[in-house]
Amino acid sequence: MNSAQKGLAALIGLALVYRGLPHLLPPGTVEYRGEEIQLARWYWSYDDYKYDAESIPAHERGRVQALVLAAPVEAKYRDLFAMASGVSRIRFPGFGSSSFGDRTQANGIVLAGRSVEIPGAGRDRVFVFQKVPDGYALIDDFVASNEPGILGVRLESDALVFTAYGGKELLRRPVPVALAGVDSRGRLTMQ
């Protein structure tokens, strides 16, 4: 075997070790909300982990989903940045989140929407905030399918209307009475 063949054999050997070693090592873990979550395998990098659709083993999915669903969100944040940061802390590491608006409605109120993926569920936890004089107040927190994903929210009469690409209506939810009301000028008010 000449030196070029030895070099090629060494590279092939390294590639096999690189691809195979994570499957031979004990599974890695990730911490979320004070809990240690076992991963499906050991990962070389965060990118390897986040692009693996099966990164959370079946026996951990229910626990992870319950943790995401139970994660507390503040009733009010001092500004848009604090609200976005607060919601992003609910996101499970390596999984998705989205923002769908900080938009002024026809009646002058501003609604801001955020969502976080619930790992392995095909669903998102969705949050809607109203801009108030001293920040952003939570007016809705619910779970919805993430196919297709929510891209917008608007207030129509007494309902929150959630839309997909092109403004196609996905779902309609009544304005949560316990959290907000609508005054005589059609503005949401905190109760």
pLDDT in tens, 90-133: 999 999 999 987 888 888 889 999 999 999 999 999 999 999 88
Cα distance from N-terminal residue to C-terminal residue, the chain: 81
pLDDT in tens, 9-66: 555 555 544 555 445 444 688 899 999 999 988 787 888 888 888 899 999 999 999 9
Please check the confidence at residue 168 and state whether its pLDDT lies above 60. yes
What is the total count of domains within the chain?
2
Whether residues 47 and 87 fall in one domain: no
Whether residues 135 and 182 fall in one domain: yes
Whether residues 32 and 111 fall in one domain: no
Q: Is the pTM value of this prediction over 0.95?
A: no
Whether residues 49 and 7 fall in one domain: yes
Q: What pLDDT, on a 0 to 100 scale, did the predictor assign at position 38?
A: 92
Answer whether 180's CB lies under 8 Å from 190's CB.
yes
The range of the structural domain enclosing residue 155 comes to 73-190
Whether residues 94 and 45 fall in one domain: no
Whether residues 11 and 83 fall in one domain: no
Please check the confidence at residue 179 and state whether its pLDDT lies above 50. no
Q: Tell me whether strands 169-174 and 159-163 are parallel, antiparallel or unpaired.
A: antiparallel
Whether residues 185 and 94 fall in one domain: yes
Which of 11, 28, 55 terminates a domain? The answer is 55
Whether residues 51 and 138 fall in one domain: no
115 within some domain: yes
Q: Please give the structure tokens belonging to residue 47.
A: 């990118």
Whether residues 34 and 79 fall in one domain: no
Work out the burial of residue 55: count CB atoms within 10 Å of its CB; fewer than 13 is exposed, 13-18 middle, 19 or more buried. Answer: buried
